[in-house]
Amino acid sequence: MNTAILAPAAVLVIWSLIMLFWMAGTRLPAAKKMGIDIVGKPGGRGPDFDVQVPDKVAWKSHNYTHLMEQPTLFYATVVILALADAGHGLNLYLAWAYAIIRIIHSIWQATVNLVKVRFLLFLASTICLFIMAINALWAALF
């Protein structure tokens, strides 16, 4: 089994954790500065907090949530391709492209967040994933 395709998935996992720390590193000081008790409210959730902080603080949280959504399909697709011994060539390049584009998407959303550009980055990564998913189905069937 060729496991090279697992590397971009591992990179995206590490990036997701970096995004978590970045989110916490901006949220906690913002909460303290604004006098918001983020742990004292029973049943409090991140989205409740996001409406109380500046947009640039909330953007990091929004991106972290995004990294827990579509990339889960990426991880499953990568595992299927690796198990089917199809994690090389085009699929490997697409996996790296997906991971890199998602990292760029994160940085963009967390800092500038112009939706038109963010959407194009999302679309580009989704096209990579879609092709990988078709290839994973093909590899699993044949």
Residue 117 lies in a domain: yes
**Per-residue model confidence (pLDDT) at position 44:** 66
Q: Which 8-state DSSP code applies to residue 42? A: T
The share of the chain scoring above pLDDT 70, in percent, equals: 94
* Contact between 132 and 98 (Cβ < 8 Å): yes
**Per-residue model confidence (pLDDT) at position 66:** 97
Q: Residues 23, 25, 26, CA angle at the centre, nearest 5°?
A: 70
CA distance 79 to 103: 20
The parent domain of residue 100 ranges over 6-141
Q: Cα torsion for 64, 90, 83, 72, to the nearest 10°?
A: 20
Residue 1 lies in a domain: no
Model confidence at 1: pLDDT above 90? no
- Total structural domains in the chain? 1
Residue 35 lies in a domain: yes
Residue 28 lies in a domain: yes
Kindly give the interhelix angle for 89-111 and 71-83, rounded to the nearest 10 degrees. 160
Report residue 39 as tokens. 């742990």
Residue 79 lies in a domain: yes
Report residue 56's pLDDT band, with 50, 70 and 90 as the boundaries: very high
Report residue 52's pLDDT band, with 50, 70 and 90 as the boundaries: confident
pLDDT tens, position by position, 69-125 = 999 999 999 999 999 999 999 999 999 999 999 999 999 999 999 999 999 999 999
Kindly give the interhelix angle for 115-141 and 71-83, rounded to the nearest 10 degrees. 30
36: buried, middle or exposed (CB in 10 Å: 19+, 13-18, 0-12)?
middle
CATH number of the domain at 98, please: 1.20.120
In terms of DSSP H, where are the helices of the chain? 6-34, 46-50, 55-67, 71-83, 89-111, 115-141
The share of the chain scoring above pLDDT 90, in percent, equals: 80
